[in-house]
Structure 1
Amino acid sequence: MTAGSEPFLMCVEDVFDRNQGRMVLLTGRIERGRVREGDMVETVGLDGGTLLPVRGVEVHHRRSDEAGADTHVGLLLPGVASGSIERGQVLAAPGSVAAHARFTADIALLAEDHGGAEVRSGERLQFHVRTAVVRGTVTLAPDTDALPPLHRGTVTAALERPVALEEGQPFAFRHHGRAAGTGTVTRLPN
C-alpha cells in the first residue's frame, strides 16, 4: 500500500481450490485501494481473521503486478484450509476493517406491491451486505411499534454471523423471502 492511498478492500465472490489445497484463487471486485503480489491481506467476516500473503494477482486471466479499485481480480493465496474462506468475506489491509454482528441502521421499506412488508421488533430479516448474505433479528426504536411499507425508521440489527461493516455501509434486506428494503449502517459498537 502506498502512502496516502486508501487501504485495500476486496469483496470475495468465489473461491477456487488450486493444487489440492496448497493454493486457492479468490475472485472478486476491489472496492478500494491497491493490491500487489507479496502484500499481506486479512480475511474479515464470517469467522475470518486469518492473515495471508498474496502469491499472485490475476486480471482478465493474466498475471499482473498489481490491481486497483473497481477491478475484478483473482488473488492466489497459499495454505488456506478448504472452506475457511467463503463468499461474503472481504480481503482487506490488516486491521483496516472489522467484522460486527450488531449495528444500528436507518432503513427504508419498499412499497407493498414491490415486496415491502410491515416490519416489527423481533422479526428475522435476510441481510445482503456486499457479497455476504446473513440472517439477523431487528429491534425497532423504542417509540415505534411497526414500520409499514414505504416508511423509514431506525433499527438495531443482531446478525447470526459477523460481517465486515463500516459506518455508511449500504445494504439490502429481504423479509418473508422477498426484497423488502434498503438501509445504511449509522453506528457500530465500540
Structure 2
Amino acid sequence: MTSTADRLVVAAAELLDNGGEAAVTLRAVGAAIGVSHNAPYKHFAARDDLLAGVAAADFRTIAESFRQVRGSEPEPIECLLAALDVVVRFSQDHPARYRLLFNNPAIAATAGPLSSAAEEALSEFAAIVGDGQAAGALPATPTDHLAILIFATAHGLIDSDASGRLRPRTGWADLGDGLRTLIGLLAKPQ
C-alpha cells in the first residue's frame, strides 16, 4: 500500500505537470488526494519540502533509467546518447519538473533524500561516461569532470531548445542532433 506521503508526492508531481510550480500548494495537494488541508503538514513541514520530495522521486526514476540504459546498450557512445535522451525526454514530457530538478536553487539546496537521489543519478551518469572512457571512446580525463561537463552542456542545449532559440539558429532537426554533435566532438575514433 502506498503511504500518504508518497501519494502527496505523486499528486504534487501531477500538479506541477498540469499547472507549473505555482499550482503546487500543500492545500491543493491534500485536496487532490482527498485528505484534510492540514494532513500534508504531517508529512512535509513546508511546500519546498514537498517539492524536494518530488525532485527526489524524479532523480531516483532518472537514475533507474540510466541503469537500464547502461545494462542494455553495448556500444559506449550509443549508451551515452541513450542516457542523454532519457534527460531530453524527461525535459520534454515534464518541463516544470525538469526546471524543479535543474533550475531551482532553493530546492537544490535541500539536504537529505534529495541530495542522495541527485547524487545517485549523477553517479549513474558518470558510470556511463566511465564506461566510454574505459572502452577508449571518450577522453581520458577525470570521469566526474567529463560527466558534469557533458551533462551541463546537454542542459544548456535543452534549456536553449525549450526557449525556442536553438533550432532556428542551428538548423538541427531536433535536440538529438545537437547532442550527437557534442558527443561526436568528444568521441575518439575507434
- Per the normalisation by structure 1, the TM-score is 0.26
User: More helix per residue: 1 or 2?
Assistant: 2
TM-score by length of 2: 0.26
